[in-house]
Structure 1
């Protein structure tokens, strides 16, 4: 049975690679996975296996598949005590031991920050603007300096997560670009004080929306917002066609001259549910031509990588698949304040419902 599974995995890998354009170039420098849910999953009994079914450290399994980076989010004081400096330090130590590099994603919140919500941490709600700017600096510095002191310096840092409308609302909303700039530059300064070599990423969602990116980064330039890399979320079932995605990346690279990384992307490998909590994506073919199957998931990640590779001037750095280790473990749900909440994403992880590495993992490791 184990040999049969391995053979099937290899066939799926070959089919996925065949679906992507042949590339003579070297692999993308960033072939990454967000594993922010991992610490809580493992604490609640989560198990991970390689494609042959052998149980192991998921970070080692990712590294052996050819991945180069992990991504970890940071919340300030979440209700469940996860996604804080404590877990970031522990997971980063393991990841670096396997040769994986690190992107740290600061949400500047106690919970999810994205285009629809950028809530201040409870401890920062009554701060004046100058105090808020200092809190951003000090929180950023604290986490990154702890990483540096344990010998696991961050390679990339997101100052904010999907900040289409700014951060730390209402103070840092894009309704006041001067405030947005002051907060983001406080984070930038903290990153560089810890390590001048660490690259700062500014990250927006809606990767197929060129109008958004031109508006946002034109205003960023006009207001002196400092950054090294442009980060993009692209979910093909939400963010427009692959053609609009390609056009946006190409234009942004030419217009601003910055390297680009897809900080988040994903695709389902099944329509089935594993934890009794309805999944967000349930269509049998969420994007035309790419079924919700292991082969379809692998082919879509290969296609997204191909888009990044085609960015002019070699400015396409690579991609991170979002929440590769967020499997259907009871208690590891969406809401950090509600242990009964479920996971609506397990059908987009890089491990299947038998906890085994999916073919998409090997594809991602070789794009």
Structure 2
């Protein structure tokens, strides 16, 4: 497999690197950073349609931007859900009015989005959602609960998968709704405290929340088709940027292993080498699938690879430290009961890697049924 960058790509790399060097660290606040990116046109490079305030770039230039962004130490993105999930979905399934209304504010970094998919009892089993949306004139009235909702406490809008036909079940009777989050008394967001002591995820309760009829994407009852299309956009160029971060984490662990003397252990040393080799293999696989292989199992394979790799990396991070990796004293009176360092955060947070974004069990089922053609599990099987 050959993958290289053209002279034009390298010119683009220089522009991206210079802009990031000039702006990273100069802006305070995640919303302000999104607006800074948007003003310079860096949001929406991968959208196939220009004209919404975004610049467009080819696939290799998207890779260049993602990698340079990761290397620059720029802040984590607050707008990535709107840019990389909602926007391509609207381009594929939305009408012109929806595109004109929602794409420019995403490109400008002015409106942030969250994803209303998972529910208690319907996490990876997305077809089991019970949140209901009842048509009332020009609106839908939404009632139900979503969970593990990233950035819900910051978001202006949420795309919600809800059941609009109570007579249907599973994949049928679902709709994809665009819901404003600023509805006091109708939408409540509750942060979820994690092992890391932080709250990146939230519970969201809808109690008669409203969504306009014209903000149904793809038509009523077509939510499953739209939702599955969106999940297909979840992986891709961003996976390569993610791997830049993984490489930096691995390099730091190797340095620690050398400093502590843990690298002299032949078993641990072999595990470090394996992590390096597997990361290279993941990069090759990501590059192979960037252009679209037509393989319905490719996203599931990628998720299985990186989630399990990252979990093993978290285990290595604390093993090379030994007893020094133990958490410090706990102060339950503080807003965060304990402080953890990067290695401890890596170990604790990566416990969830094999669950969020589709659990390992669900990914293996997709590969078995959709790629290998194996019979599906009997419904109601224990």
* TM-score for the superposition, normalised by structure 2: 0.28
The one of the two structures with greater contact order (alpha-carbon pairs below 8 A, sep at least 6) is: 1
Which structure is higher in helix share? 2
* TM-score for the superposition, normalised by structure 1: 0.29
